[in-house]
Amino acid sequence: MLRLQDAEPDLIIADISMPEVSGYELCEYIKSHGGAPVILTAGAVEPIDEKEVDRVRADGILKKPFESTLLLNSIGRFVQGSRKRSAPAVPAEPEAARAATPPRSVAILDPEMIRAAVTVALDAAMPALIDQMTERVVAALAGRKPEAPKK
């Protein structure tokens, strides 16, 4: 909660069960201070209190385990909205003003979410890494120097 004062994230992903504060409490705090959208996550067998989700005004729920595309789609809803440029002279609501500004950051408050983000990045980078490693092995077996990596 203290980091939120400095970070001003565009989106927060938090687990419902956390050691110090529950995700529900965090979401309620964020929403009561005019904060960013909040997506709550829950374990596969963890109960979700739908009334509490509504009460704290969470913007979404992800049940673990979930596919990386589901995570990206959930995040994309908010990031794409914040990239759209509309030019009203005076925004009607604070949400409209926030939607017109570029995204600042995404605060991920759960190690499993960080792991998911790293997995997505590795999945995207893996084909190029495999090609580079294959070229080096083939070059070594053929007794020649591998080509410089393509940029």
Domains and CATH numbers, the chain: 2-109 (3.40.50.2300)
Per-residue pLDDT at 86: 32
pLDDT of the chain, 151 residues: tens digit per residue: 777 777 777 888 889 988 888 999 999 999 988 888 999 988 888 888 889 999 999 988 888 887 777 778 778 777 654 443 333 333 333 444 444 444 444 444 566 767 777 777 777 788 888 888 888 888 888 888 777 666 5
Model confidence, pTM: 0.52
Per-residue pLDDT at 48: 85
Per-residue pLDDT at 57: 92
Cα(13)–Cα(60) distance, integer angstroms: 9
Per-residue pLDDT at 89: 33
CA 125 to chain centre: 18
